[in-house]
Amino acid sequence: YGQTDIPPRQARPDRDGVTLVQGIDPGSYVFQVNAKGYAKSFSAPFSVTIGGDEPLVEVTMNEGGTIEGIVMDRSGKPLPGVTVVTLPNHLDENPFTKMFAGIIPFKVTRTSGKTDAQGAYRFTLLNPGTYQLKFAHADYYDVFKKGHAIQIGQTTTIPTLVMQRGTVISGIVRVDGKPAAQVKVTVS
């Protein structure tokens, strides 16, 4: 599951809900099933062997959970246009994790959207698990909020988030006591 070398396959179940998937190399697998109107779901791990019986793998689809909230500015006004991203709770965003984001497997639903005119956001069909949310806006510094449990059939409402404009840092770079131009300054 996640971003593997195995290409996704379209599967159409018969009237009993059974789908035959053929041409899988021997090995250990987990099925990830994405279906319109349902949260992403996973099978239990299973193995495929040469000459062995075809495994019967069951995947139970569900409506997942919902997460919602409101973002405001410091004056208490709704803040539209904030990008909200769902992330695995354990993920710390840095250059290393950004570089490998496409190959890190995860069971949470990765999605994003923007706050509306009332500063509200809402994500549905989320796979159960613990999430963190990233809030980003060009005029404010990014905010990460961890530890949001999503459960099947339930709505998790996040307390109102107030975004801050942050601090301006200014100064003069000196080389050998003299102001210098064309110097790269990194803040970390």
- pLDDT score at 91: 81
- pLDDT score at 103: 60
- pLDDT score at 21: 84
| pLDDT tens digit sequence for 53-110 | 888 999 889 999 999 999 999 999 999 999 999 999 988 877 766 676 666 667 888 8
Report which DSSP code applies to 161. E
| 8, 30, 44, 50, 101 from 4: Cα distances, Å | 9, 11, 17, 21, 12
pLDDT(2) > 50: no
- pLDDT score at 167: 78
| pLDDT tens digit sequence for 117-153 | 999 999 999 999 999 999 999 999 999 999 999 999 9
Distance, CA of 183 to CA of 171 (rounded, Å) = 12
Which tokens belong to 53?
A: 């019986």
Matching residue, tokens 């099947």: 152
54 backbone φψ class: left, alpha, beta (φ>0; ψ -120 to 50): beta
Distance, CA of 135 to CA of 49 (rounded, Å) = 45
- pLDDT score at 1: 45
Q: Name the pTM for this structure.
A: 0.75
Smallest CA-to-CA distance from 46 within 3, 1, 105 is with: 1
- Radius of gyration in angstroms for the set of CA atoms belonging to the chain, rounded to a whole number: 23
Using an 8 Å Cβ cutoff, are 156 and 109 in contact?
no
Instruction: Map 2-65 to HEC letters.
Output: CCCCCCCCCCCCCCCCCCCCCCCCCEEECCEECCCCCCCEECCCEEECCCCCCCCCCCCCCCCE
| pLDDT tens digit sequence for 7-46 | 777 878 888 888 888 888 888 888 888 888 999 888 899 9
